[in-house]
Amino acid sequence: MHSNPLLQKFNTKYATAPFSKIKNEHFRPAFEKGIQLAKAEIDQIANNKEIPTFENTLVALEFTGDKLDRISSIFFNLNSAETNDEIQKIAQQVSPLLSDFANDIRLNEKLFKRVKTIFNKKNDFDLNTEQQMLLDKNYKSFVRIGANLNMEDKEKLRKIDKELSKSSLQFGENVLAETNAFELHITNKNQLKGLPEGTVEAAKMLAKEKQKDGWIFTLDYPSYVPFMTYADNRVLRKKMAIAFGAKAFQNNKFNNQNTVLNIVKLRHRRANLLGYKTHAHFVLEERMAETPDKVNKFLKDLMIKAKPAAEKGFSKVLTIAKKDGIKKIQKWDGTYYSEKLKKELFDLDDEQLKPYFKLENVIDGVFTIAGKLYDLRFEEIFDIDKYHNDVKTYKVTNINNEFIAVFYADFFPRKGKRNGAWMTSYKDQWKKDGKNSRPHISIVCNFTKPTETKPSLLTFNEVTTLFHEFGHALHGMLANTSYPSLSGTHVYWDFVELPSQVFENWCYEKEALDLFAKHYQTNEIIPMELVKKIKDSSNFLEGMATMRQLSFGLLDMGWHASESPETIKSVKAFELKAFADTQLYPDVKENCMSTSFSHIFQGGYSSGYYSYKWAEVLDADAFEEFQKKGIFDKEIATKFKENILSQGGTQKPMELYKNFRGKEPSVDALLKRAGLI
First and final CA of the chain: distance in angstroms? 65
β-strand partners of 425: 441
**Amino acid present at 5:** P
Give the whole-angstrom CA distance, residue 207 versus residue 444: 32
β-strand partners of 396: 378, 405
Q: Which residues of 64-99 are buried (b: 16+ CB within 10 A; e: fewer)?
A: bbbbbbbbbbbbbbbbebbbeeebeebbeebeeebe
Q: Does the annotation mark 469 as catalytic?
A: yes
Q: Is 248 helix (H, G, I), strand (E, B) or coil?
A: coil
Among residues 62, 469, 509, 575, the one annotated as catalytic is 469
Give the whole-angstrom CA distance, residue 644 versus residue 658: 10
Q: 372: closest CA among 645, 644, 638, 659?
A: 638
**Amino acid present at 67:** K
Classify residue 118 by burial, with Cβ atoms within 10 Å: 0-12, 13-18, 19+: buried
Q: Torsions phi, psi of 210, nearest 5?
A: -90, 10
Q: Which residues of 317-346 are buried (b: 16+ CB within 10 A; e: fewer)?
A: beebbeeeeeeebebbbbbbbbbbbbeeee
Q: For the chain, how many helices (H) and strands (E)?
A: 27, 9
Torsion over CA of 377, 381, 387 and 392, rounded to 10 degrees?
Answer: 60
Q: Is 216 helix (H, G, I), strand (E, B) or coil?
A: strand
Beta-sheet pairing, 403-410 with 440-444? parallel
Name the residues annotated as catalytic: 469
